[in-house]
Amino acid sequence: MYKIIGADGKEYGPITAEVLRQWIAQGRANAQSKVLPEGATEWKTIGELPELAPLLSAPPAPISPPAPISLPPIPRNNSFAVAGLTLGILGLTLGLCCCYGLPFSVPGIICSVIALNQIKNEPAVNQGRNLAITGLILSIVSILLGCLLLVLGVALSTPDMLRRIHRL
């Protein structure tokens, strides 16, 4: 049996030799820790006790490094899908207002097709298939409406042009 003075300066014990060995193995006691063996009158360091000194020279148990944490990739909206949707909305809006939707509709179709291909190839990383499809549809509708408005504009202005021609 032993008594020991802890790192906090308090006296602990009596404890068995086995408990003291565990504390040494755990690093709770070291060669400079003061102990009082049963029946002794003088405090000694653990390193001075022949029965405990071999425990101090034993290499500490190897600590294995923690296993690396592997997280699955977080799927994000594909940026081409968002761009395709935005360009499709702009193309349709400007196409209906002032027939300037074509410069937005063609890039909208291109971005949406690129997005659909990327989402198809890497579905774990990319999402936003519905955004890309919506952008593609809006861009195509914008082009069709632009063509329809152009045809209607020409058709509606033709009688005026014919009247002007006949007046000359």
Residue 59 confidence (pLDDT): 54
168 has a pLDDT exceeding 70: no
Structure confidence at residue 33 (pLDDT): 84
62: three-class secondary structure by DSSP: coil
At 41, which amino acid appears?
T
Residues 110-155 have pLDDT tens digits of 999 999 999 999 988 899 999 999 999 999 999 998 888 888 888 8
Q: Cβ(92)–Cβ(101) under 8 Å?
A: yes
Reported in sequence order, the residue ranges of the chain that DSSP labels E, i.e. its strands, are 2-5, 11-15, 34-37, 44-45, 76-77, 126-127
**pLDDT recorded at residue 63:** 62
The answer to whether residue 109 scores a pLDDT higher than 70 is yes
User: Exposure of 75 by Cβ count < 10 A (0-12 exposed, 13-18 middle, 19+ buried)?
Assistant: middle
Would you state the pLDDT for residue 17? Answer: 82
What is the distance between the alpha carbons of residues 100 and 144, in angstroms, rounded to a whole number?
13
Tell whether the model's pLDDT for residue 27 goes beyond 80: no
pTM for the complete prediction? 0.53
Which pLDDT tens digit goes with each residue over 43-101? Answer: 888 778 777 767 666 555 566 677 777 777 788 999 999 999 999 999 998 877 766 77
